[in-house]
Structure 1
Amino acid sequence: MINSPAAKARVLFVDDEPRVLTTMRMLFRAHYEVYFAEGGTQALELLKKQAVDVIVSDQRMPGMTGIELLRAARELNPNAMRILLTGYSDLNAIIGSINEGEIFRFVNKPWSNDDLSTTVARAVTAARASAAMTAKADERPAPAQSGPLPAVLVMDDDARVPPQIQAILGNECRVFGATTMSEAVDLLEREHIGVVISDTRVQDHPVVNLIGTLKQHHPELVSVILTERADAGAAIDLINQGQIYRFITKPIIDNACKITVNSALKQHERLSHSPELHQRYEVANTPEPPPPSSGTGRLLDRIRSIRSWVRRRA
């Protein structure tokens, strides 16, 4: 375990600009045991000697990007929560932050001090929950599989995509397809879905509210996004508001898709049997939801009322 409950949480800030680190020191030193590094190499050397609860890193740094640092940090300090700061919109960096660094939040610079403080506090809570679960892991018997195996739901305007993914996965799991959000919710109500794979837009409607509501009310569900559009803003929203597990780029590469979906199914089982981990994938506060009288609002209400398959199997 990283810290005892009474100890101050340990937070590492990484930025090549000394003035940013000075700001972080002033903002956080009263609340946490703070550490600082002026680049990725220095940060990794520190992490080899000192475990931390949260790592807050800038993306654009000379020598090593924030994504590269957080990917390496994940190996050294897997329970630490990772927050990425960036002052520019770069889709490749955003996708990398999910697929390689497993980021808790993506924060744009300049940031709001209050928002950043709240984000770090939530990350600390999640990190300690993960550490506590890891400490008890050896005492917990392996869960027995009961009921139907979880299936994969694919939301995409292109009806050819679900059969393509079924062909990639073979007979290892069932794949259901939906070309509208209403069809998707129908399937979520009827079937034991463990993983949702979706384009960023379905029938020209953004999926962020649906994905975010799913994660908020059914945290054991794991979402993977299919994308071919360079829409950095949508990707950031999906990270922060939907805790997306991975991105798959189009055109789909069979082997990469199979590895990603199998990993997502394992993550679903892990979250189903370890509720302590749910805080680690907590979604950010979302904008004002659509009114219940609207089509989207009614769909979100249906998602909120879906009974979890975890409870149905208990």
Structure 2
Amino acid sequence: MPSRILFVDDEPNVLLSLTELFRDERPYTAQRAKDALEILRKHPEIDVIVTDQRMPTMTGVEFLREAKKINPIAIRILLTGYSDLDEVLGSVNTGEVYRYILKPWDVEKLRSTIKLALELAQRTRLIMPKNAQPTATSASSATLHHTTANNIATTTRSFIPEKQPILVIDSNPSHLSSMRELFAENYVVSISSSSQSAIEILKRSPMAAIITELNLPDTDPVKFLSEVKSFNPNTPIIVLSSMKDSSIAIQLINQVQIFRYLVRPLRRDTLESTVQTAVELYKAYTATPGLNLKNLEGDILKQSGNQPK
């Protein structure tokens, strides 16, 4: 049986430990990102990629960005000894990681995370159109993404309205006003100045995207956004905040699977393009809920008798 796991780390001892821990899976290993990318091109059956962050010539986030182009189905996990804010934000904004795990790792948690990731990738392969799945002879990653986008667009165009609803959450009135003005032409914009009123809005209406500040009065941002995600897992959450906390960012990646974490001040065109991408993702998830890892994860954990986190 071909291996379905790829470990990437410039430390040989780390690779030896991971190989021993997952010896039944006979994982592929690489000490250089360049070699890892070549392995991915030759072995499209790989379902899980686990990489270090700080490596020579290419960081883990940069590697995962390229890895996604080759094999977008593979679940991406960052396993690192560092939690610098820029690296954490890069992991979600560029690498789009499924989990951010700190070294030294907890053996049982790492086992269960990778086991879940393998199952997620396999279920995604069952849902993804065959012509959109990676192969050893794929013409290019651009072709793969273009084919997938066309398939999704064909499915969603018939019943998803063009002007989608979005929700902006911020306790600063001037921020709310400027955001409404920025997005009113292309979206149906709802605004909320507190976590409580945001929850009430979400109880009444689904949203195609949510833009939220983290620094809300009397609010634990991780608990709040976990609750927000529970109303509609298909809705991408964009954090737009002046709060710079790597610990909270890691929790939001692992527990909420936020779409992006953006730090103020931010260019207007960057925010506009991020929201547009999030809405397109919402359309794809609405048309094919199984493409959403959060939905799949919940199904798998319920079937195994565990509660989704």
Interval containing the TM-score (normalised by the shorter chain): 0.7 to 0.9
Task: Using the TM superposition, name which of 232-241 and 165-174 deviates more.
Answer: 165-174
Residue 118 of structure 1 corresponds to which residue in structure 2?
112
**Structural mapping, 1:1-314, within 5 Å:** 10-30=4-24, 32-51=25-44, 52-135=46-129, 142-143=155-156, 144-145=158-159, 149-279=163-293
Residues 3, 28 of structure 2: 8 Å contact kept: no
Per-residue CA deviations over 1:250-301 (Å, capped at 9, x if unaligned) read 11311000000010111111111112123356679xxxxxxxxxxxxxxxxx
Tell me the percent identity.
34
CA distance in 2, matches of 1:159, 1:79: 41
- Alignment partner of 1:251: what SS? coil
Instruction: Quote the offset at 1:169 in angstroms.
Output: 2.6
Residues 179, 203 of structure 1: 8 Å contact kept: no
Residues 197, 224 of structure 1: 8 Å contact kept: yes
Instruction: Quote the offset at 1:213 in angstroms.
Output: 2.7
Instruction: Quote the offset at 1:241 in angstroms.
Output: 0.7
Instruction: Quote the offset at 1:152 in angstroms.
Output: 1.2
- Alignment partner of 2:129: what SS? helix
The 3 A distance-change label for structure 1 pair 135 and 112 is same
Instruction: Quote the offset at 1:153 in angstroms.
Output: 1.0
CA distance in 1, matches of 2:85, 2:221: 18
- Alignment partner of 1:176: what SS? strand
The 3 A distance-change label for structure 1 pair 168 and 217 is closer
CA distance in 2, matches of 1:9, 1:153: 43
CA distance in 1, matches of 2:195, 2:227: 13
Residue identity in the other structure for 1:234: I
Residues 98, 254 of structure 2: 8 Å contact kept: yes
Task: Using the TM superposition, name which of 256-265 and 145-154 deviates more.
Answer: 145-154
Per-residue CA deviations over 1:194-226 (Å, capped at 9, x if unaligned) read 211111221152221121233345211211101
Q: Superposition RMSD on alpha carbons, in Å?
A: 2.2
Instruction: Quote the offset at 1:8 in angstroms.
Output: 5.8
Per-residue CA deviations over 1:129-150 (Å, capped at 9, x if unaligned) read 2222223678986232256953
CA distance in 2, matches of 1:264, 1:228: 21
- Alignment partner of 2:208: what SS? strand
CA distance in 1, matches of 2:223, 2:206: 21
TM-score by length of 2: 0.83
- Alignment partner of 2:118: what SS? helix
CA distance in 2, matches of 1:184, 1:213: 11
Residue identity in the other structure for 2:93: N
CA distance in 1, matches of 2:230, 2:296: 7
Task: Point out where structure 2 has 5 or more consecutive residues left out of the alignment.
Answer: 133-147, 299-309
CA distance in 2, matches of 1:280, 1:9: 25
CA distance in 1, matches of 2:129, 2:166: 31
- Alignment partner of 1:197: what SS? strand
Q: Alignment length, in residue pairs?
A: 277
Instruction: Quote the offset at 1:13 in angstroms.
Output: 0.2
Residues 8, 30 of structure 2: 8 Å contact kept: yes
Residue 306 of structure 1 corresponds to which residue in structure 2?
none
